[in-house]
Amino acid sequence: MKRTGLLHLYYGDGKGKTTAAMGLALRAMGSGKRVVILQFLKGGKSGEVPLLEQLGAKVYRGKAGQKFVFQMNEAEKEATRQLQNANLTAAMAAPADLLILDEAGSAWELDMVDKALLQKAVLERPAEQECVLTAHAAPQWMLDTADYATEMKCHRHPYQRGISARQGIEY
C-alpha cells in the first residue's frame, strides 16, 4: 500500500515545537480525525492537555513531578524507561489518524525509550497515519525519513533574562 500519512519533524533549540504539534492536533480533530499524543519525559499537565483530552485526543504522559533525567538515579531512570515504553506501546495500539510523539528526540538521545520500539512506531506505522516528532537534537534517522523537517532556532528567549516559564504561554 502506498504511504499517504507523512512524517513531520519539528526540531531545534527554539520555542514552538510542541506548540506546532498541538496546533496540528487541533486542526486534525477539527476535521474529524483521531489523534493520539505521547509526551515523552513530561509529567504534569500543561495548559493544552485537558482541552485536547476534552476534545477527544488520547494523551499519554509521564508521571507528575518527574525529575529531569540528569537528576535521576539509575532505578528512577529504569522506571521512567519502562513507563515510556508502556506509553509508546499503548499509543501504537490506539487507533489514530495522527500520532504525535512529543520529545521523541530527547527520549532517544537520553536513552529513555526502547530505540527499536520508537523506530517501529514511526517507520512501521499504518500507511495512512500521519506522524509528528519533536526533538531538540534530532537523530539522523529522523532527519533522513521526515517528509517535513522544520528547524526552530532560538535567537532570543525570556529565560535568558531570568523570566520563568509562564502558565498558558510556555506550559
- Residue reference for cell 529513555: 112
Per-residue pLDDT at 45:
67
For residue 13, what pLDDT is reported? 93
The answer to whether the CB of 149 falls within 8 A of the CB of 143 is yes
Q: Which residues does 143 contact at the CB level (< 8 Å), separation at least 6? A: 9, 11, 149
Residues in the chain, pLDDT under 70: 1, 45, 63-65
Distance CA 84, CA 47 (A): 21
Rounded Cα–Cα distance for residues 1 and 145 (Å)? 18
pTM to 2 decimal places: 0.90
Q: Where are the beta strands (DSSP E) in 73-159?
A: 98-102, 130-135, 148-151
Give residue 96's pLDDT: 98
